[in-house]
């Protein structure tokens, strides 16, 4: 590692998280765990409400290998809690819940326009990101 | 372009933006323009309030070459408006404002903890992302 890149990665770390704020590029790639510490996936992206500026959903990738055969699970953001000990997000979703959860594959399209209500209903949450 | 990658890029496009939601990874890299159409930078990341789940700031990168010598400008998210014609964000900041604006370089650290108020004050906005 050269000095330049070392400096840069230190900077990025400092600039990407505080106790009040977190960078979108730090959320992406972060692991998602069950409360028992078992990893269930990684965050691919978060979806931001254009009007409200609020994060509405996290898209969790799960399964597959190097992006092939992965499934993407849209999860209401309010279900995720950051756990500093695990250095990842904790979400209380059972295997049974995950089996029937709304999802899409790498080669499928997902139209958020008609589907946010289905996701909210499935997990029993209110869409707080709208306003 | 092979069919597989074509399908995937179509999927990504569909999944990453709707009229109500936009993916964090789509915001990152998006160009920032003045109202007159002159490009002033690109969005490096957005900073999300951990408690509120609201986007507080966009970090705009400006100048430099291939990441070397770039400056990063934290901008209150409320100053940015998406302009579909320009396919980028529009922000009404003058050269003079930008010259004196809070910023940090690639090799500097930026402590958000003590600096959000300075950014808000500089641009004259209220920190709506806190709650």
pLDDT exceeds 60 at position B10: no
Question: pTM of the full predicted structure?
Answer: 0.83
Question: In the structure, what pLDDT confidence band is assigned to residue A4 with cuts at 50, 70 and 90?
Answer: very low
Residue A69 host element (H or E):
none
Residue B24 host element (H or E):
helix B24-27
Complex-level ipTM: 0.82
Return the top range by mean pLDDT from A8-22, A57-71, A117-131.
A117-131
B65 close to A (CB below 8 A): no
Helix (H, G, I), strand (E, B) or coil at B6: helix
Tell me, rounded to whole angstroms, the distance of Cα A28 from its chain centroid: 7
Q: What is the C-alpha to C-alpha distance for residues A112 and B20, in angstroms, rounded to an integer?
A: 9
B90-125 tens-digit pLDDT = 999 988 998 999 999 888 878 888 889 999 999 999
Q: What is the C-alpha to C-alpha distance for residues B15 and B22, in angstroms, rounded to an integer?
A: 9
Q: Assess contact for A91 and A34: CB atoms under 8 A.
A: yes
Strand partners of residue A54: B54
Return the top range by mean pLDDT from A60-74, A102-116, B71-85.
B71-85
Read off the pLDDT of each residue in A65-78 and give the average, rounded to a whole number: 85
Instruction: Decide if A23 and B116 are in contact by the 8 Å CB cutoff.
Output: no
Q: Assess contact for B30 and A27: CB atoms under 8 A.
A: no
Q: Assess contact for B106 and B64: CB atoms under 8 A.
A: yes
At residue A112, the pLDDT reads 86
At residue A111, the pLDDT reads 84
Q: What is the C-alpha to C-alpha distance for residues B118 and B131, in angstroms, rounded to an integer?
A: 18
Instruction: Decide if A15 and B82 are in contact by the 8 Å CB cutoff.
Output: no
Q: What share of chain B has pLDDT > 90, as a percent?
A: 50
Contacts of A35 (CB under 8 A, 6+ apart): A90, A92
Q: Out of B7, B53, B54, name the one closest to residue A107 (CB).
A: B7
């Amino acid at each position: 590692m050269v000095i330049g890149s070392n400096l840069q990665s230190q900077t990025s770390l400092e600039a990407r998280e505080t106790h009040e704020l977190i960078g979108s590029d730090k959320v992406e790639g972060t692991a998602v765990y069950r409360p028992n510490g078992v990893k269930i996936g990684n965050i691919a992206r978060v979806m931001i409400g254009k009007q409200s500026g609020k994060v509405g959903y996290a898209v969790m990738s799960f399964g597959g290998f190097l992006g092939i055969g992965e499934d993407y699970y849209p999860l209401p953001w309010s279900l995720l809690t950051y756990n500093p000990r695990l250095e990842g997000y904790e979400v209380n979703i059972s295997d049974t819940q995950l089996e029937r959860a709304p999802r899409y594959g790498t080669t499928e399209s997902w139209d958020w326009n008609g589907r946010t209500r289905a996701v909210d209903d499935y997990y029993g949450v209110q869409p707080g990101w709208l306003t």
